[in-house]
Amino acid sequence: MMRIILLGPPGAGKGTQSQFISKEFGIPQISTGDMLRSAIAEGTELGKQAKGVMDAGGLVSDDLIINLVKERISKPDCANGCIFDGFPRTIAQAEALVDADIKIDHVVEISVPDDEIVSRLSGRRQHPASGRVYHVKYNPPKVEGVDDETGEPLIQRDDAQEDTIRDRLKTYHDQTAMLGGFYQDKSKAGGDAPEYHQFDGTQDIDVVKEQILSTLK
């Protein structure tokens, strides 16, 4: 059993690195952002409630997210653990994990300064069905505009406009960034607490990957 939390600002590479960790350890990636985007695409009640907040770069309510995550981790593919990508994003969400007795083994924080994030996110392309992430310059698909494994078209997300990226960064600094310190303190206290590890996310994708995988092994 291995449960991992990936922390980091928008565009830090959480989705990119989750895919590598998922392959290496055979545990699923749980991206609350990807789940919300599929709910929007399917037109569900959750999707309707989430759309406005996501377009504005804010956070979806803790209650909705906590229920979504609890339901997801009860699925059989999470029996050996999972990777939380983009969750928790508030102290209340982190406390909900503790209250529900969901034990975390590792917290992996990927740090990238704000000025690098805007250029990264405008070049991102994603395969919506699998969550696979590309970048036109830093991680291009084999054939422009299509997914390597399925040949299906890649899309650009609705929240990739520069204004929205700046709003997402503000939300991150106001509500999420403090989770790094929160888990660092817990880790130092020892006991049942998760181990905390920090990585420099401005390095090449493969370098970050090697550092994370060798730390987790």
Of 129, 124, 122, nearest in space to 141 by CA: 124
Contact by Cβ (8 Å): 209, 17: yes
- Does residue 65 bind ligand AP5 (CB under 6 A)? yes
10 binds Mg ion (CB under 5 A): no
- Footprint of ligand AP5 on 23-62 (CB under 6 A): 31-33, 36, 53-54, 57-60
Count of residues touching ligand AP5 (by CB under 6 A): 38
Count of alpha carbons within 13 Å of 138, Cβ hemisphere only? 22
Known catalytic residue at 89: yes
- Is 124 noted as a catalytic residue in this protein? yes
Closest-by-Cβ residue to Mg ion is 15
Judge whether 3 counts as a catalytic residue. Answer: no
Q: Restricting to residues 145-164, which ones interact with ligand AP5 according to CB under 6 A?
A: none
The answer to whether 15 contacts Mg ion (rule: CB under 5 A) is yes
Q: 42 in helix, strand or coil?
A: helix
Q: Which does 54 bind (CB under 5 to 8 A by kind): ligand AP5, Mg ion, none?
A: ligand AP5
Using DSSP's 3-state secondary structure scheme, residue 146 falls into strand
d(C-alpha 54, C-alpha 32), whole Å: 12
DSSP assigned state of 154:
P
Helices (H), the chain: 14-25, 32-42, 45-55, 62-73, 91-99, 114-122, 162-171, 178-189, 205-216
Which residues form the interface with Mg ion (CB under 5 A)? 15
Q: Which residues are marked as active site?
A: 14, 89, 124, 157, 168
Which residues form the interface with ligand AP5 (CB under 6 A)? 8, 10-16, 31-33, 36, 53-54, 57-60, 65, 86-87, 89, 93, 120-121, 123-124, 133-135, 138-139, 168, 201, 203-205, 208
